[in-house]
Chains A and B, each alone.
Chain A
């Protein structure tokens, strides 16, 4: 019933597509099974006239209601003595023919409507789609019933009815893509070349919407077979002596208690057909549109998977610092094996100190930050080596609940882009209060009051009011302040801030940095500050570590590194900080960046 609504699907070379699509389809075991079953059924249905079967319509009162496996009647006979196997094969033939015809009809008219609406756009589109919406406002089967009511019972009328009620699915899906395509350059070019509208639709747009038509067809044809069988079952489709699977089932129902097999046999056949088509349809959809593949979605675990090869024992230094990272290695599982993103990173953070972790995107600095408390999405992330020591304990040896109590307790995170990192459906007050209640035994009202206090601390104006606002109702700067308030909720010793100002404009950025600086000094916080911006580092960090391709290439006091950078990469990063009147230097730095370096490492 749920037909995916697609947007633009890029179509590569047709020849290549055909081959790889076919291979993809057959690699999907379930889809392949569906294909073989439906192919067998179709083959038998096609060969029905050639098979050594009884005449499905010849009655034989002497052989009424023979049981299954009777001599010369493998599936027995019905109440008129007709051979059930022969009727099954011929009924299947009719059901398939009707279902597929309905699908082709719906696909043709639906796609036509969708193409016209999408290509014409504007008022035509609006009018047509309103009509389609109207049709979709009916319960599906009911509309088919109304059409059959008007046309009268009969197999052909049932076919029309089912085709009509399926037109909207095709119209909608095709229209969505055609609308997008009609504004593309190649269509404009065709228009300028003087091609007629019909020619453009047929030669430029139609080939690009074909995958969608195929997908929609493969996901609806099963339904159409099922629904035509349903109408026949109700006595509104095939009329005797003609019989499809549905009407066999409907007639068998009268004998359900005495001869159940007569209805079970066609029922199983419908089930088999629909299931194999559904399996095949899902496979076709996955092969043609990989974004919809079910397997592409995996659930991230609460803590990053830990599979360490080397576990360094924490030394004295590590024990003494607030946070120590020793030879950390984090990788991502890919089809081609484990792809390392962080390769043996070590640093430590003393109480009240601010360490800047600097590098361009893809250098592994965010992955490093997230690895500290096992927050790297897993799968695909795996921590493959090293240790993180907090208060003398190795984080990766802790139980899940212990890591949970560190998170937001001793160690708090501030993330980039608070629009996506705050929950859109809870008020900001609730979200801050929740952070408090996760670690402190306080009641709801008390937590709420504390949350308002925290919002005041981060200088959100009118905090009582703002607490009941949703994230989308706040400005970017205010959202980031909420993120900071949430981090401060349980008076952490360490804050890990992952590009907290990147999504903000310059003046707001300056305010947020000032706020962090004040809080750090007031509360003696240790701050791990991840950024790509040396300007920010110069402003607030005591020490700095420069990361490149998953490794720290240079570390030291901020002043020393800034004043006398040793590594060429650091020099270039520093040169990237724009200074008034020095745009030339910035461009030069970029120009000197070799292509292979620009390609960068993996992950971020």
Chain B
């Protein structure tokens, strides 16, 4: 197992390098002169040139990339112009809030997606299957930012049981119950779409597996239907479900952009939207890179979990 993890970690390195290269290239495509953009159009040519030199923009593109990468590896993501603080500090602070939101949503979508998918497969064509199918259809079609507004209207405005925004109450609060109270709506909203995807896939995977010869063998052994479904079929189905849950991490991390904006959750998604409108490019760059790296890491975990489930993959 340790050998497999090590192997997967090594294969993650080129992916991370590739990500950094793509982010670097996208950022290098910014039209116009960054120094002029920073200093404004009335800057003196001398100042522009000085800034260009200090930013390393007088060097060739590959040179720039390696300098940038070197800094990156030392944890230097540059400074945010708008916030006037190191990008890394801001990103780390924001990421912890996103992590709370995204991991809760991921847990919710995994648990409920699996349950819904299993029920739907086991009671195929029954009323539970119909309800799940309808939920999946609505879940994958409704814009999450619209769902967020609807939930706010219902739970925060109509029923007034849950807060409409923020991570903690402004006065008092700040403890765990307060956090959970604020977490419910954004986490649920974020989880809905992903739950639909996981449920749909779980249903298909279970139905696929239940037709396999080894399920007939399990039945021929005299195992009860419960064991057949929850031990034999589910384990085999999990092998194809786990990577999809990993992919949902990407969806949840990306969807956080909308949800954090609507619920004013102080995470990295809300930060990115603000940074784009203030043209704080280094902050965008740092944030995107950080979240993408986190996504690669989650998929790595998904791969390892998959390999523990399926011994054939370790070879």
Chain A residue contacts of B18, Cβ below 8 A = 130-131, 134, 137
Partner of B149, one of A234, A253, A470, A486: A253
Complex interface residues of chain B between 253 and 287 (CB less than 8 A to chain A): 253-255, 257-258, 261-262, 272-273, 275-277, 279, 281, 284-285
Alpha-carbon separation in the docked complex, A140 to B251 (Å): 7
* Residue of A whose beta carbon sits closest to that of B22: A134
Whether A139 lies near B143 (C-beta < 8 A) is no
Which of A137, A153, A377 has most B Cβ within 10 Å?
A137
B-contact 0/1 string along A265-288, CB 8 Å cutoff: 001101100110011000000000
Alpha-carbon separation in the docked complex, A130 to B17 (Å): 12
Any A CB within 8 A of the CB of B55: no
Alpha-carbon separation in the docked complex, A279 to B121 (Å): 20
Any B CB within 8 A of the CB of A149: yes
Whether B222 lies near A439 (C-beta < 8 A) is yes
Chain A residue contacts of B235, Cβ below 8 A = 423, 425-426
Whether A275 lies near B143 (C-beta < 8 A) is no
Alpha-carbon separation in the docked complex, A405 to B220 (Å): 10
Any A CB within 8 A of the CB of B221: yes
Chain A residue contacts of B207, Cβ below 8 A = 297-299
* Residue of A whose beta carbon sits closest to that of B30: A150
Alpha-carbon separation in the docked complex, A131 to B210 (Å): 37
Chain B contact surface mostly: helix
Complex interface residues of chain B between 135 and 174 (CB less than 8 A to chain A): 137-138, 140-146, 149-150, 152-153, 157
A-contact 0/1 string along B233-262, CB 8 Å cutoff: 001100100001001011101110110011
Whether B311 lies near A270 (C-beta < 8 A) is no
* Residue of A whose beta carbon sits closest to that of B136: A278
Whether B276 lies near A257 (C-beta < 8 A) is no
Partner of A138, one of B19, B273, B309: B19
Instruction: Output the least CB separation between A380 and chain B (Å).
Output: 11
Alpha-carbon separation in the docked complex, A400 to B223 (Å): 11
Any A CB within 8 A of the CB of B212: yes
Given A275-B137, A425-B311, A140:B221 Cβ within 8 A: no
Whether A253 lies near B262 (C-beta < 8 A) is yes
Whether A278 lies near B218 (C-beta < 8 A) is no
Alpha-carbon separation in the docked complex, A490 to B220 (Å): 12
Whether B223 lies near A434 (C-beta < 8 A) is yes
Complex interface residues of chain B between 45 and 60 (CB less than 8 A to chain A): none
Complex interface residues of chain A between 404 and 441 (CB less than 8 A to chain B): 404-409, 412-413, 415, 417, 420-426, 434-435, 438-439
Any A CB within 8 A of the CB of B288: yes
Any A CB within 8 A of the CB of B230: no
Given A233-B145, A421-B213, A423-B217, A137:B15 Cβ within 8 A: yes
Alpha-carbon separation in the docked complex, A486 to B29 (Å): 65
Chain A contact surface mostly: helix
Any B CB within 8 A of the CB of A302: yes
Given A236-B276, A256-B149, A408-B221, A146:B288 Cβ within 8 A: yes
Could you say which of A108-116, A222-230, A525-533 contacts chain B? A222-230
Whether A249 lies near B213 (C-beta < 8 A) is no
* Residue of A whose beta carbon sits closest to that of B205: A297
* Residue of B whose beta carbon sits closest to that of A138: B292
Given A141-B257, A142-B257, A404-B224, A236:B273 Cβ within 8 A: yes
Alpha-carbon separation in the docked complex, A230 to B145 (Å): 7
Q: How many A-B pairs with Cβ below 8 Å?
A: 237
Whether A408 lies near B276 (C-beta < 8 A) is no
Instruction: Output the least CB separation between B253 and chain A (Å).
Output: 5
Whether A256 lies near B153 (C-beta < 8 A) is yes
Whether B146 lies near A134 (C-beta < 8 A) is no
* Residue of B whose beta carbon sits closest to that of A282: B137
Alpha-carbon separation in the docked complex, A142 to B285 (Å): 11
Complex interface residues of chain A between 439 and 477 (CB less than 8 A to chain B): 439, 470, 472
Partner of A302, one of B225, B249, B273: B225
Partner of B212, one of A409, A413, A420, A489: A420
Whether A149 lies near B218 (C-beta < 8 A) is no
Whether A424 lies near B29 (C-beta < 8 A) is no
Complex interface residues of chain B between 110 and 141 (CB less than 8 A to chain A): 121-122, 124, 137-138, 140-141
Given A137-B18, A233-B258, A146:B26 Cβ within 8 A: yes
The interface on chain B, measured as residues whose beta carbon lies within 8 A of the other chain's beta carbons, has a size of: 89
Chain B residue contacts of A426, Cβ below 8 A = 235
Any B CB within 8 A of the CB of A524: no
Partner of A434, one of B22, B140, B221: B221
B-contact 0/1 string along A357-378, CB 8 Å cutoff: 0000000000000100101010
Instruction: Output the least CB separation between B120 and chain A (Å).
Output: 10
Given A146-B284, A222-B141, A278-B141, A153:B276 Cβ within 8 A: yes
Whether B197 lies near A2 (C-beta < 8 A) is yes
Any A CB within 8 A of the CB of B85: no
Instruction: Output the least CB separation between A253 and chain B (Å).
Output: 6
Instruction: Output the least CB separation between B148 and chain A (Å).
Output: 9
Any A CB within 8 A of the CB of B94: no
Which of B141, B250, B272, B311 has most A Cβ within 10 Å?
B141
* Residue of B whose beta carbon sits closest to that of A416: B213
Chain A residue contacts of B140, Cβ below 8 A = 1, 278
Alpha-carbon separation in the docked complex, A260 to B154 (Å): 11
Alpha-carbon separation in the docked complex, A235 to B229 (Å): 48
Chain A residue contacts of B214, Cβ below 8 A = 420-424
Alpha-carbon separation in the docked complex, A153 to B144 (Å): 21
Alpha-carbon separation in the docked complex, A131 to B22 (Å): 9
Whether A230 lies near B143 (C-beta < 8 A) is yes
* Residue of B whose beta carbon sits closest to that of A404: B222
Whether A407 lies near B220 (C-beta < 8 A) is yes
Any A CB within 8 A of the CB of B7: no
Instruction: Output the least CB separation between B274 and chain A (Å).
Output: 10
Alpha-carbon separation in the docked complex, A413 to B214 (Å): 12
Chain A residue contacts of B138, Cβ below 8 A = 275
Whether B141 lies near A271 (C-beta < 8 A) is yes
Whether A256 lies near B124 (C-beta < 8 A) is no
Chain B residue contacts of A330, Cβ below 8 A = none
A-contact 0/1 string along B66-103, CB 8 Å cutoff: 00000000000000000000000000000000000000
Whether B258 lies near A234 (C-beta < 8 A) is yes
Chain A residue contacts of B181, Cβ below 8 A = none
Alpha-carbon separation in the docked complex, A143 to B262 (Å): 20
Any B CB within 8 A of the CB of A148: yes
Chain B residue contacts of A299, Cβ below 8 A = 121-122, 124, 206-207, 210
Any A CB within 8 A of the CB of B63: no
Alpha-carbon separation in the docked complex, A468 to B145 (Å): 51
Pairs A-B, 5 closest by C-beta atoms: A141-B254, A267-B146, A408-B222, A275-B141, A139-B254
The 14 sampled A-B contact pairs (Cβ below 8 Å) are A1-B251, A2-B197, A142-B272, A145-B257, A150-B281, A229-B143, A233-B258, A236-B273, A299-B124, A299-B210, A406-B222, A407-B222, A412-B220, A439-B222
Given contacts A139-B253, A400-B225, 18 further A-B contacts (CB under 8 A): A1-B197, A1-B247, A137-B292, A141-B257, A149-B288, A150-B29, A249-B146, A267-B150, A271-B141, A274-B143, A278-B140, A278-B141, A297-B207, A300-B210, A423-B214, A425-B309, A435-B221, A470-B311
